[in-house]
Structure 1
Amino acid sequence: MVDHSTENHLTAEEPDTLQRNLNNRHIQLIAIGGAIGTGLFMGSGKTISLAGPSIIFVYLIIGFMLFFVMRAMGELLLSNLEYKSFSDFAADLLGPWAGYFTGWTYWFCWVVTGIADVVAISAYFQLWFPGFSVWMGALLCLAVFFSLNIATVRLFGELEFWFAIVKIIAIVALIATGIALAAVHYPSPAGGTASLSNIWQHGGLFPQGPSGFFAGFQIAVFAFVGIELVGTTAAETHNPHKVLPRAINAIPIRVIMFYVLALMAIMMVTPWDSVVPERSPFVEMFMLTGLPAAASVVNFVVLTSAASSANSGMFSTSRMLYGLAEQGVAHRRFALLSRRAVPTNGLMFSCLCLAIGVALIYLIPNVMTVFTLVTTVSAILFMFVWTMILCSYLAYRKQHPQRHRESHFKMPLGKVMCWVCMAFFLFVLALLTLREDTRQALLATPLWFAILAVGWRRRGRKMAGRRR
C-alpha cells in the first residue's frame, strides 16, 4: 500500500511509476474498441468478395485462437502485478532479448498501423472538406492525438470509451437495419429481395472453395489487431484482478456480435457476389435505407474507428517505450514521466516517427499499394508479438508451477492451446505467400528483425565494455 502523503508528493512533482487511473468502464470499452479493428469497417467488403459466406468461419476461427492468447496474457499479467505489459513478462521469463524484441516490435507495429490510420483519417476528411489537402489533414491528426495523450491517462480512457460507444452503436444499427430489411423482404440492389437465405443460396457457404476460404485469413487477421490493448493498460488499471478477467472473458461474445452478426446482416441484404470490394458494405447498407445523411453518418463512424486505432497506438507506443527504458533496453529518457504520470518523451518520439512515415506515404503516388503493404507488415508483426506471449506462458508454466496453481485466472487447456495457436499463426504466414501483395510484405518483414538483431548486438557490446 502506498502512503497517501507519498502519493500526493509524487503527483505534485514527477511520479516515478505509471498511475492506476483507468477504471472498469474504461477497460471494458478499450477491450471492445481493440476487438473492433478498422479492418472490419474498411476491409469487410474485400474479405466477403474473396471468401463469400465462409468469411464468417474465418472470423470465428481467428477470434477463437486469439481468445486463448488473451487468456495466456491475462494469467501472466495477474501472476505478478509488477509486469507493466507483455514486454515485461517476456523479459523476465524468456530473457532480456525477448523483452527487447517484443517491446520494440510492438512499438513498430503501432507506428506502422498508426501511419495507415492517419492517412485513412485524412482521406475520410475529403468527403466533408474536398479542398483540404491530405498532407495537412495528417499533420492536424497527429497534433490533435499528441495533445490528447499528453494530458492524462484518464482523458485517454474517456476518449476510447466514447470512440468505442460510436463503434458499438454503428454495428448494432447495421445489424438491426439488416434484420429489418430481411424481415420485410426489401428489394436487393442486385435483384431479388433481402432474406436470410441469401447467405447460402448463392453457391453455398463455401462458394469460392478452399482457396477463397484461405484467402480471407490474410485480411481478417488485420481486423483483430489491437485486441491485446488490454495488456498495455494493465499498469494503469484499478483493481486488475477483477477488471482484466472480465474484459478478456467477454472476447468470444464480442467476436460473435461485432463480426459474425454484422457480416451476416450485410450478406442477408446484399448477396456476397454483389458486394463491391472497393466500397464499405456499411455505407452501402445505410444507403439502401434512403437516408440522405447516410454517407456522412457512416463516414463519421469509419473516421472515428480509425481515430480510435491511431489514438490507441499512440498510447501503446509511449507505454511500451517506458517499459523498455525501465528494462534498460531503450534510452533512459523514455522512463521519465510528466507531472500527470504520462511518458512524454516516448509520446514525442512515437509522434515524430509517425510524421516521418506519413511524409513517406505522401511522397509515394500509389497510396493504396502502400496501405496494403503496411497493414500486412503490421499483421505479421502482431502475430510475432502474440507468439511471444504464448512462449512466455510456456516458460512461466515451467519456471513457476506454484504461481500457476495459485492463479484464479488459469488459461484453459494451457500448454496444448499454446502449441495449437502457434501452429495456426504459422499456417496464416504460409497463406501470405499465396498472393503477390502479401508476399512482398512477408519478404520485407525480416528486415525489421535484422535491424533489431544489430541493435541488440551493439547493446551487448556496450554492456560488456562497461563490465570491463
Structure 2
Amino acid sequence: MNTQPTLTKDGEETGTPGAPHSSDGLKAGLKNRHLSMIAIGGVIGAGLFVGSGSGIAAAGPAILLSYFLVGAMVVFVMRMLGEMAAARPSSGSFSAYADRALGRWAGFSIGWLYWFFWVVVLAVEATAGAKILESWIPAVPQWGWALIVMVVLTATNLGSVASYGEFEFWFAGIKVVAIGAFVVIGMLAVFGVLPGSDNPGAGFAHLTDSGGFFPMGAGAILTGVLMVVFSFMGSEIVTLAAGESEDPQKAVTKATNSVIWRIGVFYLGSIFVVLTLLPWNDKSIVEKGSYVAALDSIGIAHAGQIMNVIVLTAVLSCLNSGLYTASRMAFSLGRRGDAPKAFAKVNKRGVPTAAILGSVVFGFVAVFFNYKWPDTVFAFLLNSSGAVALFVWLVICVTQLRMRGIILRETPEKLVVRMWLFPYLTWATIAMIVFVLGYMIYDGGSAREQVVLSLLVAALVIAIALVKDRFVKSPKQDSEPV
C-alpha cells in the first residue's frame, strides 16, 4: 500500500520507524560505492562512443579544444550545483532550488522540461540498444528487444533504489574499466611500446601531420562544441541520487571534487588517444566509429563486437539512470504540487511507484512514435528536447547566484562546497552558455531547429507555470523543503 510521507510543521520528513529515509520520504538505500560509481560513470554516455567520430571529422585535432571548453563549462556548472546540493540535498535538485530561489514558475518549468528530456532519451536509448541486440539475435524483432529492455529496467527501478544503484554500479563500472583500459593500451601503442601492436606508433605526430592542428580553421572549434555538448548531459544525476544516500553531503562533495579528473581522463584522454593513433581524416573514424577504428589500428581482434558490448552497456546505463532521474523529478514535482499527487507517494520500500510508472508510460509512447513516425512526430520530440541540457545548466547558474545568499543567511555552516571566484565565474559560465545557444541559432541547420523548437516548448511550459501560479495555489504541506 502506498504511504504519503509524514511532514512536521517545518516541512521535514519524519520517515517510517526502523527504516532509513531521506529528508523527502525516499528510502536512503544508495551506498557510498553506488554514489561513487554513479558520479564516475554519469558523464560517460553512449554519445561519447558513437558520436565522437563525426566531431573529429568536423574539427580535426581541434576537437580536443571543443571537448575542453564544454568540459570546463560542465565542471563549473557541477561546482555550482554541488554547492547547493551539499547544503540542501533534494530529490528535485536544481528544480527544487530554482523553485526556492527564482520562483515556483522556474522550478515547475525546468522540472518538467528535464523530465521531458529524459523520457525522450528513454526512447532513443531503448531503440539503440534494441538495434545491437537484434544484430546478435535476429529472431527477436527490434521492437521486441526495446520492450524487453524497458520492462527489465522498469522492474529494477520498481524494486528499490538499491536495485537501481546496484545495476548502475556494474554498468558504470564496465564503462569506466573499458575506457581506462582503452586509454592505457592506446597510449602504449602511440609510443610504439605495446607488444604485438599493428600501429607503427607515431607519437604526437598525427595531431599536426594532416593539415595542422586546425585543418578546418579555428571556427571549427565552435562547430565541435555544438556536436559534443550533449554527450556531457547526465553529470547532474548524482545530485538527485545523493538525496537517497546514507550521507548526501559527503557524496555530493566527493562527486563535485572528482568531476575535473573524470572529464579529463574519460573525455579528453580517450579522444586524445584516438587522434594520436590515427590521422584525424582517416575514413575509418567515421565509418567504424572512432574507438573501433583506434582498436582496429592496434590490431585488437573483434574490435567492433567488443565496442558493441561496451556501447550496449552505456545504453543500458543511460536507460537505467534516465528512468530513475525522470521518476525522481516527477516525485519532486508531485511533492511541490506541480504534478499529480500520486507522484509524491512512496510504497513501503520508499519507492515512488506512480512516478516511475508515469515516466515509463511516456517512454513507451515515445518508443512507439520512434517506430511509427520516426521522421515526423519523434523527430519533433527529439529536436524540441535537444537544447534542454543547456537550459538546465543556465538555470543552475542563475539559481546559484540567488541560493548562495539564502544559504549564507539561513544555514551558513552547510556551505561546505563553494563555487570558485564567486560571482565572477558564475557570470562567465552564464555568458558561455548563452553564447553557445546563440551560436547554435547562427549556425543554422539542425542546431538552429533544436534551439528554436526547445525554446517554443520551454515558452509553453513557462506559460502554463505562470497561469498555474496565478490561479492555482498549491497547499503549503505539498511543498518540498529546500
TM-score in terms of structure 1 length: 0.90
SS at match of 1:36: coil
Q: Distance in 1 between matches of 2:173 and 2:438?
A: 36
Q: Distance in 1 between matches of 2:303 and 2:213?
A: 30
1:93-112 → structure 2 map (5 Å cutoff): 93-112=101-120
Contact 2:86 2:253 in 1 (8 A): no
Match of 1:64 in 2: 72
- The change in CA–CA distance for 1:338 and 1:278 in structure 2 (over 3 A counts) is farther
Q: Which residue among 351, 354, 357 is the counterpart of 2:366?
A: 357
- The change in CA–CA distance for 1:366 and 1:16 in structure 2 (over 3 A counts) is closer
Match of 2:392 in 1: 385
Consecutive unaligned residues in structure 1, runs of 5 or more: none
Q: Which residue among 48, 55, 65 is the counterpart of 2:56?
A: 48
Contact 1:93 1:396 in 2 (8 A): yes
The Cα shift of 1:294 comes to 2.6
Higher helix share: 1
Pick which of 303-312 and 413-422 moved more. Answer: 413-422
Q: Which residue among 233, 247, 255 is the counterpart of 1:225?
A: 233
- The change in CA–CA distance for 1:279 and 1:403 in structure 2 (over 3 A counts) is farther
Counterpart of 1:19, as a letter, is K
The Cα shift of 1:128 comes to 0.7
Contact 1:376 1:441 in 2 (8 A): yes
Counterpart of 2:403, as a letter, is Y
The Cα shift of 1:357 comes to 0.7
The Cα shift of 1:84 comes to 4.7
Q: Which residue among 421, 426, 433 is the counterpart of 1:425?
A: 433
Contact 2:333 2:339 in 1 (8 A): yes
- The change in CA–CA distance for 1:35 and 1:16 in structure 2 (over 3 A counts) is closer
TM-score in terms of structure 2 length: 0.88
The Cα shift of 1:303 comes to 0.6
SS at match of 1:206: coil
SS at match of 1:272: coil
Counterpart of 2:238, as a letter, is V
Q: Distance in 1 between matches of 2:308 and 2:15?
A: 44
Q: Which residue among 74, 94, 105 is the counterpart of 1:86?
A: 94
Identity of aligned residues (%): 31
Contact 2:440 2:448 in 1 (8 A): yes
SS at match of 1:445: helix
Counterpart of 2:368, as a letter, is A
Q: Distance in 1 between matches of 2:424 and 2:88?
A: 23
Q: Which residue among 84, 94, 98 is the counterpart of 1:76?
A: 84
- The change in CA–CA distance for 1:370 and 1:183 in structure 2 (over 3 A counts) is farther
Pick which of 71-80 and 382-391 moved more. Answer: 71-80
- The change in CA–CA distance for 1:285 and 1:374 in structure 2 (over 3 A counts) is farther
CA offsets 1:405-429 (integer angstroms, 9 cap, x no match):
5422111112111111111111111
Contact 1:397 1:404 in 2 (8 A): no
1:132 is the counterpart of 2:132: no
Pick which of 283-292 and 314-323 moved more. Answer: 283-292
- Work out the number of aligned pairs and report it: 457
- The change in CA–CA distance for 1:411 and 1:223 in structure 2 (over 3 A counts) is same
Contact 1:163 1:308 in 2 (8 A): yes
1:31-430 → structure 2 map (5 Å cutoff): 31-81=39-89, 84-184=92-192, 194-275=202-283, 276-364=285-373, 377-402=384-409, 406=413, 407-430=415-438
* RMSD over aligned Cα atoms: 2.8
Q: Distance in 2 between matches of 1:408 and 1:16?
A: 21
Q: Distance in 1 between matches of 2:148 and 2:381?
A: 21
